[in-house]
Chains A and B, each alone.
Chain A
Amino acid sequence: MPDYKCHTPEGVTDYLPDECMAKNQIEQSLQTTFYSYGYRRVQTPVIEYHDIYAAASGDISSEKLFKFFDPQGRILALRGDITTSIARMMGTKWGAAPLPARLCYVAEAFRYNGSSSSLPSEFTQAGIELIGAGGAAADAEIIIVAITALLDAGISEFQIDIGQVSFFKGLAGQIGLSAEDTEKMCTLIDHKDSVGIAEVIAKYSADSEIKDLMLSIPDLFGGEEVLSCADSPRLNALSRSALSNLRQVYDIIKGCGLETYISLDLGMLQSIDYYTGVIFKGFTYGVGFAICGGGRYDALIENFGADMAAVGLAISVNRVLAAMQRQKKPLASPITHILLWTDTANAASYDTGQKLRRAGLIVENYLGEGDTEAALAYANAHGIGAVAAPLPGGSLQMLYCDGRRRIITAAELEGGDLL
């Protein structure tokens, strides 16, 4: 049997310090934005019963989940997304606590993407859920938080594409598409495959204006003008309310002066058995996949025993990190880092180190042999900016890697204003 002890399984990876630090900074930044809008962090288990995904399809369909058994033979799964877990938590544990609930998370989810794909099986999502609030104001809030969070994290060129699945559902109902054809049609529209759409439509006899609208869905994307292109007096109530919801969401975001970041796409139809209203995805340069996505899912929590409207957002931390690297965006500069060289058994060294740490520096102890020059060579090799060597009387000799020398007096050290 081949020996895999020196390998990580397909689709998972290690993060070495620099990359881990960068990823962590993004997570911190996203979380800070979420907190600032009143979202409170929750944590759900990594392992769930497979049953919670029973109604799921698409990205979290059974084939994509990592499954195993508990000692009683029940099927377990590594969580395929966080929203389903939060829906379970809300449906079963929120009880009579007040709504709406604003919840956020930063956590890993797991999906098996097949060995031919280089998409990761383990990925970090940072997201929010606004539960117990319907309507355009809630939809818009989620998208506004998405825009703010991406800007705060350092991504400046991006676009959030907003759709509304009910527009399509209304048309499908009016044409009388069978369940099978509805599913097929979704995939075709999602791929903008107009040839395929025309083939399916041709089988049905319905209002020709509605059929034409269905045919034109792949082209219904762009700016505000999409809303008027999609409008028709022949639309049924469902499609009509979808358009008016989208109009309201657009206007709220425009009112915030953020319309440059958004566009509309009525052909965005992924996971329509999951989403019930607004749906959106965020894109940026350098990454071929969406960096964030979300939408309204008013029917999900019902599966877990409570009827709650909900809308949410998930940002892919891994893809934001990849975008920052490919767009060569500087990540926050590292905190000043120094190396503390001390004489063996210098009782004051712990004390000196603590003072420097309290002043906001990262202070690493030098464990090697030799004098301060040896320590300086070590500092250079490890990318540490300077060596600090305590002098008798409580002052500190600083040796910087660029050759500068400086004495920090005991009083300066006491004052703590060293940065």
Chain B
Amino acid sequence: MKYLTIALAKGRLAEISMDLFLKIGLDCSEMKEKTRKLIFADEKNKIKFILVKAADVPTYVEYGAADIGIVGKDTLLQEGRNLYEMIDLGFGQCRMCVCGPLAMKDKLDSINDLRVASKFTNVARSYFFNEKGRTVEIITLQGSVELAPLVGLSEVIVDIVETGKTLRENGLDVLETICDISARFVVNRVSMKMERERILDIVQKLKGVLAEGGVEN
């Protein structure tokens, strides 16, 4: 039997995913130990788990270096890779939003040269250009995006919002919601065909666990 490789986004998503896999009988307990290893194997079920940066999960899966990935919808939207998005796992919930000072709310559609700072540049571009039909300037930032409107780098930002605490502490508010975000179970297109039975078996079991209430978010 060939190994199936599952790519997990490092951090909290990986931890929740591990609990989920344990529930369906895949053993990735080795990952719970404090270690710098990035690759772990469940020899009994012939499954390898790899830990990668969230933004890289879709790339690993699209190229088939991993057969399966667990990653947030935000990353999928930003990366726009060609994958099968099989299950909404329900955890890691948040929203993709346009945020800025509350005073911007009414001006959003009227400012001529709107500057939008974001880590999710493709999401921002697709929302403003395609859905709103607006030409805007997109400014790429890697983090602490909330800062941009405060120092005059941009009028608004596009970012994920979970509780809104960071926003409020920086005097910003949600102006528009673009979409809801949660963790997704994605599959490489070729793997889906070549390893159909094993993958569908995992999908069915995961759906079963989710129907019973899933895991702690």
B-binding segment of A34-42, A232-240, A283-291: A283-291
User: Across the interface, do A288 and B85 meet the contact criterion of CB distance under 8 Å?
Assistant: no
A161 within 8 A of B: yes
Pick from A118, A193, A287: contact of B190, CB under 8 Å: A287
Q: How many residues of B contact A (CB 8 A)?
A: 19
Find the B residue at minimum CB distance from A265.
B193
Q: How large is the interface on A (under 10, 10 to 19, 20 to 34, 35 or more residues)?
A: 20 to 34
Contact A288 B64 (CB under 8 A): yes
Please pick, from A159, A192, A193, the residue contacting B193 in the complex, using a CB distance under 8 A.
A159
A288, B194: Cβ atoms closer than 8 Å: no
Given A192-B84, A192-B86, A193-B85: A288 and B65 interface contact (C-beta under 8 Å): yes
Using known A-B contacts A222-B196, A285-B2, determine if residue A290 contacts B190 with beta carbons closer than 8 Å: yes
Contact present for A284 and B188 (CB under 8 Å): no
Q: Does B189 contact A (CB under 8 A)?
A: yes
Contact (Cβ within 8 A) A263 B65: no
Interface string of A266-288 (1 = CB under 8 A from B): 00000000000000000111111
A191 within 8 A of B: yes
Contact with A along B55-99 (1 / 0, CB 8 A): 000000011110000000000000000111110100000000000
Given the known A-B contacts A195-B88, A288-B188, are A283 and B193 also in contact in the complex, defined by CB atoms under 8 Å?
yes
In the bound complex, residues from chain A placing their C-beta under 8 Å from that of B191 are 288
What 0/1 pattern do residues 85 to 119 of A give for CB contact below 8 A with B?
A: 00000000000000000000000000000000010
Do A284 and B85 touch (CB < 8 A)? no
Asked whether A290 lies within 8 Å of B196 as measured between CB atoms, the reply is no
The dominant DSSP class at the B interface is mixed
Q: Which residues of A contact B82 (CB under 8 A)?
A: 191
| Shortest CB distance B144–A (Å) | 24
Give Cα distance in the complex from A21 to B83, angstroms.
33
Q: How far is the CB of A390 from chain B (nearest CB, A)?
A: 53
- CB neighbours (8 Å) of A285 from chain B are 2, 194
Interface readout for A139-161 with B: 1 if CB under 8 Å, 0 if not?
00000000000000000010101
Closest CB of chain A to B188's CB: distance in Å? 6
Interface centre among A192, A194, A288 (most CB of B within 10 A): A288
Interface string of A165-201 (1 = CB under 8 A from B): 0000000000000000000000000011111000000
**A residues in contact with B62, CB < 8 Å:** 288
Q: Mark B141-158, 1 if CB is under 8 A from A, else 0.
A: 000000000000000000
CA distance A263 to B85 in the complex (A): 20
**Chain B residue contacts of A284, Cβ below 8 A:** 190, 194
B189 neighbours in A (Cβ, 8 Å): 283, 288-290
Which residues of chain A have C-beta atoms less than 8 A from B65's C-beta?
Answer: 288
Q: How far is the CB of A143 from chain B (nearest CB, A)?
A: 15
**Is the beta-carbon distance between A191 and B190 smaller than 8 angstroms?**
no
Shortest beta-carbon distance from A322 to chain B in Å: 11
Across the two chains, which residue of chain A brings its CB closest to B2? Answer: A285
For A194, the chain B residues whose CB sits under 8 A away are: 88
Residue of A nearest to B62 (CB): A288
Choose among A192, A221, A287, A290 the residue that contacts B85 (Cβ–Cβ < 8 A): A192
B193 touches A263 (CB 8 A): yes
Q: Is the CB of A191 within 8 A of B84?
A: yes
Known interface pairs A191-B83, A288-B64; A161-B193 also in contact (CB < 8 Å): yes
| Interfacial residues of chain B within 136-190, with CB under 8 A of chain A in the complex | 187-190
Residues of B close to A157: CB separation below 8 A? 194
Distance A288 CA – B67 CA, assembled complex (angstroms): 9
Question: Whose C-beta in chain A lies nearest to the C-beta of B197?
Answer: A222
Centre residue among B86, B187, B191 by max chain A CB count within 10 A: B86
| A261–chain B nearest beta-carbon distance, Å | 12
Does A283 lie within 8 Å of B190, measured CB to CB? yes
Q: Which B12-27 residues have a C-beta within 8 angstroms of A?
A: none
A312 to chain B, nearest CB (A): 21
Nearest CB on A from B199, distance (A): 11
Shortest Cβ distance from residue A219 to the other chain B in the assembled complex, whole angstroms: 9
Is there contact, CB below 8 Å, between B85 and A283? no
Beta-carbon contact of B83 and A289 below 8 Å: no
| A176 to B61 CA separation, bound complex (whole angstroms) | 35
**A289-B64 contact in complex given A161-B193, A263-B193, A283-B193, C-beta closer than 8 Å:** yes
CB distance from A57 to the nearest CB of B (A): 15
A246 to chain B, nearest CB (A): 17
B193 touches A288 (CB 8 A): no
Complex CA–CA separation, A221 to B188 (angstroms): 15
**A290 cross-chain contacts in B, Cβ below 8 A:** 189-190
Contacts of A265 in B (CB 8 A): 193
> How far, in whole Å, are A118 and B63 apart by their CA atoms in the complex?
10
Q: List 8 A-B contacts (CB under 8 A).
A: A191-B84, A192-B85, A263-B196, A287-B64, A287-B190, A288-B62, A289-B63, A290-B189
- Beyond A221-B196, A288-B189, 18 additional contacts (C-beta under 8 Å) are A157-B194, A159-B194, A191-B82, A191-B85, A192-B84, A192-B85, A192-B187, A193-B85, A195-B85, A222-B196, A263-B193, A283-B189, A283-B190, A283-B193, A285-B2, A287-B64, A288-B191, A289-B63
The 3 closest A-B pairs by CB, nearest first: A288-B64, A192-B84, A283-B190
